[in-house]
Structure 1
């Protein structure tokens, strides 16, 4: 996916406000989408300090929880989707090490997206892990679009 598309998603998929009830609504949308397609995914919505929603569907592995944490750490650090960070890193040939960050704690793979308010403030990250990275990203984007349209 190209960087311009990722930037456009991040600039348009913004929330007027976001709290625990919104996290529950978004998490349940992802849960319903995952169940409907029998996807082996882990779903996580978190702030820097608190998990607001977490679920694992049949077929998801414990490793998916670790991937979700690493991808959401990336979003909360860079305030961009984890796929966007990955595409930028691949384009520049630079990785986390250049910024003193560990790949054991961060992942530049798609599937985590910032929960950004209209004010520009990033307050949380929503993450899916278990599919190919572009599919993880697409599922999260589709769920956010559905939540924002409701």
Structure 2
């Protein structure tokens, strides 16, 4: 496995282990989604943002420069995160680290599943994965980094307000 893939995979696995929440509901989804949209707009990012709880889409927005293609990518990446219970970027990197191609070796329809960066599981401590938060429109490592940046900040703020 090339060193850059190994290093990226290690960072993504650390993100997945670290970014665990104490709570998350539809009100939180709205607040997190609005925060992400404001940050993306300020940076001029041409992305779509989506948050799910279970199978329900509880937040979705598109910024200038994004397109229906980004919606399609977001849905495909969300299916991967749900199926594997981890970030879509982590899934893709795991396949690459093993010398495999997700589209071929994943044995899933590539028109329905995309193991590219940008969708992250919403995991609650003691409960498990309850949904996803994701973006599409940037290079996959940047999609992943944007989501993790905002989910980590959300977690830290929620812990402070809970008195943790």
Calculate the TM-score normalised by the size of structure 1: 0.94
Structure with max Cα Rg: 2
SS in 2 for 1:58: coil
Deviations 1:117-142 (A, max 9, x none): 11251111111000010110110011
Go from structure 1 to structure 2 and tell me whether the alpha carbon gap of 1:24 and 1:47 turns closer, same or farther (over 3 Å shift). same
1:140 has 2:122 as partner: no
Residue equivalent to 1:54: 60
Residue equivalent to 1:71: 77
- Size of the alignment, in residue pairs? 150
Computed over aligned residues only, the root mean square deviation of the Cα atoms, in angstroms, reads: 1.4
What is the correspondence of 1:68-147 to structure 2 with a 5 Å cutoff? 68-92=74-98, 93-119=100-126, 121-147=128-154
Structure 2 CA distance for aligned equivalents of residues 24 and 45 of structure 1: 9
Q: Is the 8 A contact 1:116 1:124 kept in 2?
A: yes
1:14 has 2:14 as partner: no
Residue equivalent to 2:30: 24
- Structure 1: give runs of 5+ residues left out of the alignment: none
Q: Is the 8 A contact 1:3 1:87 kept in 2?
A: yes
Structure 2 CA distance for aligned equivalents of residues 48 and 102 of structure 1: 22
4+ residue runs over 4 A deviation: none
Q: How far off its partner does 1:8 sit?
A: 1.1
Q: Is the 8 A contact 1:29 1:147 kept in 2?
A: no
SS in 2 for 1:63: helix
Structure 2 CA distance for aligned equivalents of residues 49 and 39 of structure 1: 27
Structure 1 CA distance for aligned equivalents of residues 112 and 54 of structure 2: 13
Structure 2 CA distance for aligned equivalents of residues 5 and 37 of structure 1: 24
